[in-house]
Copies of this chain bind each other. A is one copy, B any other.
Amino acid sequence: MNQSGTRTRLLTAASKLFGSKGFRAASVREITASAQANLGAVTYHFGTKANLYAAVLDQSFDRLATHIEEAAGAGRTSPESVRGIVATVFGFFREAPDVPRMILHQVSSRTPPPESVLRHLYRIVAAVQRVVSAGRTRGEFRNIEPVLVTFSLISQSVWFALAGAQIGPVLYPGLSSSALAGKIESHVADVIGRALAADEDTP
């Protein structure tokens, strides 16, 4: 197992453990054990546990931002781009459930996110801005601040990814998990689409 393999395994293990337990409760001992690395590996590769946390957050937000940028560039109409963004966020969170957990832990902490996370957040806001601007030019969307749209999108997506899996089966006992996921995704796409839609009486 080479150096870069260890670094990758540490990031993967840390993402899982920070995601499930939060920064404080996840110990370096657990992370290195889960990554099959020696106890000094975190210090060697990242210096401190805080730096490892920042690297995991950075990686998660980078992937999220990249997915959103790609989806924002696709779609033939603006509403289609919005549905594509929601679909890609939900798909990503299904594949990588540690990511919404990490985001939730970051939001619930009292500390502002590190600079690198803010940089990815700005990328997401910029991608949403492009979609909103294109939609306004086409007369499909109204004037709305992309920062607020981004928050509405991320909050509901993270929330439904976690709370939906947790209490969805209680609230919708007859529904399969994939049917539930589909219902939730189309609801969020609908809410965001309606938030953006131009008013009927606006020229």
Contact = CB atoms under 8 A, between A and B. Distances in A.
Interface of A: 20-22, 24-25, 101, 104-105, 107-108, 110-113, 118, 121, 125, 145, 147-148, 151-152, 154-156, 158-160, 162-164, 166-167, 170-172, 183-184, 187-188, 190-191, 194-195, 197, 200
In this complex, the member of A113, A156, A172 whose beta carbon has the largest number of chain B beta carbons within 10 angstroms is A156
Nearest to A167: B112
29 contacts: A21-B24, A22-B24, A22-B108, A25-B25, A105-B108, A107-B159, A107-B166, A108-B108, A108-B162, A111-B166, A112-B166, A112-B167, A112-B170, A118-B167, A121-B167, A147-B171, A148-B183, A151-B156, A152-B187, A152-B188, A155-B155, A155-B160, A156-B156, A159-B159, A190-B195, A191-B194, A194-B194, A194-B197, A195-B195
In this complex, the member of A155, A166, A171 whose beta carbon has the largest number of chain B beta carbons within 10 angstroms is A155
A35 to B, nearest CB: 21
Contacts of A107: 104, 159, 162-163, 166
Copies of this polypeptide in the complex = 2
Nearest to A195: B191
A104 B170 CA distance: 19
A155 B148 CA distance: 14
Contacts of A104: 104, 107-108
A155 B151 contact: no
B24 A118 contact: no
